[in-house]
A and B are shown apart, each in its own frame.
Chain A
Amino acid sequence: GDSVTQMEGPVTLSEEAFLTINCTYTATGYPSLFWYVQYPGEGLQLLLKATKADDKGSNKGFEATYRKETTSFHLEKGSVQVSDSAVYFCALSDLHQGAQKLVFGQGTRLTINP
């Protein structure tokens, strides 16, 4: 079945550092790809999405490009802030019998130190 693999965490960076969180996927079709973020004690929030190859999703300074040739959707941010500390989940949408379910990676915990 479809699957998502994220880089192992936790990741600790200093404020204003460059961030990359790697995500690769395996899918039989052409899924949409998502990054969700989970702040402490909260639910998942959609950070960005891309629905087809070469699409770039962006939000709050974060970006990710849907790369079909490398089956990747790496998350990047040029200058991280302490408030970006959270758990980040890469996900794909799996169309199953006409219904959509999300398949998530294992999550990457990010800590930003001032």
Chain B
Amino acid sequence: DSGVTQTPKHLITATGQRVTLRCSPRSGDLSVYWYQQSLDQGLQFLIQYYNGEERAKGNILERFSAQQFPDLHSELNLSSLELGDSALYFCASSVDRMDIQYFGAGTRLSVL
């Protein structure tokens, strides 16, 4: 158990809908990262937050957004969902911006 908690484990929704994925980092970790794992794109970095502030952006679509709250948990919001958004979404956390990242078990999103 990495100590990183992601909910829900599975999410099934329809095209055009909006969903929110939640991540609770390891106790004491200030940095949260989001990654997308899909069959065609592999594992791709989406976005990083550190102590509530956005620090780095990767291949994140404009339809996607994230935030990190004062209690350090993070949410990834996906809107106007398309079939191609079906993927496994991982959250990772680290003590600071440069440390080893520990991954949660992921949220599997299926867009039908």
Which A residues fall within an 8 A CB radius of B?
A: 36, 41-46, 49, 89, 93, 95-107
User: Considering only CB atoms and an 8 Å cut-off, how many residues of chain B contact the other chain?
Assistant: 27
A43 touching B56, Cβ below 8 Å: no
Tell me which residues across on chain B come within 8 A of A89, comparing CB atoms.
Answer: 43
B48: Cβ under 8 A from any A Cβ = yes
Tell me which residues across on chain A come within 8 A of B6, comparing CB atoms.
Answer: 43
Tell me which residues across on chain A come within 8 A of B105, comparing CB atoms.
Answer: 41-43
Interface stretch of the complex, out of B14-22, B62-70, B71-79, B93-101: B93-101
B33 touching A101, Cβ below 8 Å: yes
Cα A97 to Cα B100 with chains together (Å): 17
B98 touching A100, Cβ below 8 Å: yes
Given A43-B2, A104-B42, A104-B43, answer yes or no on A96-B56 (Cβ-Cβ < 8 Å): yes
Tell me which residues across on chain B come within 8 A of A100, comparing CB atoms.
Answer: 48, 56, 94, 97-99, 101
B101 touching A99, Cβ below 8 Å: no
B55 touching A43, Cβ below 8 Å: no
Given A45-B2, A46-B100, answer yes or no on A97-B42 (Cβ-Cβ < 8 Å): no
A101 touching B90, Cβ below 8 Å: no
Which B residues fall within an 8 A CB radius of A?
A: 2, 4, 6, 33, 35, 42-45, 48, 50, 55-56, 58, 90, 92, 94, 97-106
B55 to chain A, nearest CB (A): 4
Given A43-B103, A43-B104, answer yes or no on A103-B45 (Cβ-Cβ < 8 Å): yes
A99 touching B55, Cβ below 8 Å: yes
Cα A105 to Cα B90 with chains together (Å): 16
Which residue of the partner chain, among A41, A44, A101, A104, contacts B56 with CB atoms under 8 Å? Answer: A101
19 more contacts with CB within 8 A, not counting A45-B2, A100-B48, are: A41-B105, A43-B105, A49-B100, A97-B56, A98-B55, A99-B48, A99-B50, A99-B55, A99-B97, A100-B97, A100-B99, A101-B45, A102-B33, A102-B35, A102-B101, A103-B45, A104-B42, A105-B42, A106-B42
Closest to A101 in B: B45
Q: Please indicate which of the listed interface residues A89, A95, A96, A100 has the most CB atoms of chain B within 10 Å of its own CB.
A: A100
